Amino acid sequence: MFGEIALGSEFFERLVEIDAEITDRVAARGCRFCGGPLYRGDYDRKPRGGAVAAAAEAFSRRFSLCCGREGCRRRATPPSVRFLGRRVYVGAAVVLASVVALATMIAAAAQRATGVPAPTLRRWRRWWRGPFIKTAVFFDVASRIPGIEVRRMPVSILEAMTGGAGDRLRRLLVWLTPLTTTSTPDGSRFTRGLT
């Protein structure tokens, strides 16, 4: 399914555009604590893409906002389609490497194909089948795509979607955005209509 997909700079440029739009939406709402204006306060990340998403390593700024009201100054980090929370690897690499790991079922082969260490791949597979299925994001995805096979995630989600491989991956990353931050609750409201 994703064996021939090349996640080049164009794919990640589109993800940067989506992240910028999400950031603008969050900024327009103002600070959730005091209602003050939110200003850009981006910070550097050192993302890894492995062999499946090496182009992502060039897009290393994590968009973030900071309240401009004196006395508040709280940070609001918007949801992101590029970064999957605090993980070192970009979200696209987590999804694609998990797909490859599930397809090969041999840790050494999956590591060679993805450039991601075997222990990391095993941890991600456990996450898809464990903690992820307890999240509100999973329940949202499951309501959109009935009959998801938990033991085959994320493959079963991607197979049930329509469109090209890149479009399906981008749409799944948009659905996963509420998991990417805790400082902007209900992050899904900022991603409606994006893909």
Tens of pLDDT, residue by residue over 147-179, are 999 999 999 999 999 999 999 999 999 999 999
What is the end-to-end Cα distance of the chain in Å, rounded? 20
Whether residue 186 is contained in a domain is answered as no
Whether residue 195 is contained in a domain is answered as no
> What pLDDT does 5 receive?
54
Strands (E), 12-139: 38-40, 43-44, 61-62, 65-67, 75-76
Whether residue 75 is contained in a domain is answered as yes
CA–CA separation, 93 and 64 (whole Å): 22
DSSP state of 69: S
Cβ pair 52, 93 in contact under 8 A: yes
Whether residue 176 is contained in a domain is answered as yes
Give me the percent of the chain exceeding a pLDDT of 90.
72
> What pLDDT does 6 receive?
56
58, 39, 36: which is closest to 47 by C-alpha? 58
CA–CA separation, 6 and 16 (whole Å): 17
CA–CA separation, 82 and 181 (whole Å): 12
> What pLDDT does 2 receive?
52
User: Which uninterrupted H or E stretch holds 67?
Assistant: strand 65-67
Whether residue 29 is contained in a domain is answered as yes
Whether residue 123 is contained in a domain is answered as yes
Query: Which residues constitute the domain of residue 86?
Result: 9-180
pTM for the model: 0.92
Number of structural domains (the chain) is 1
CA–CA separation, 42 and 59 (whole Å): 12
Whether residue 26 is contained in a domain is answered as yes
Low-confidence ranges of the chain (pLDDT < 50): 4
Whether residue 191 is contained in a domain is answered as no
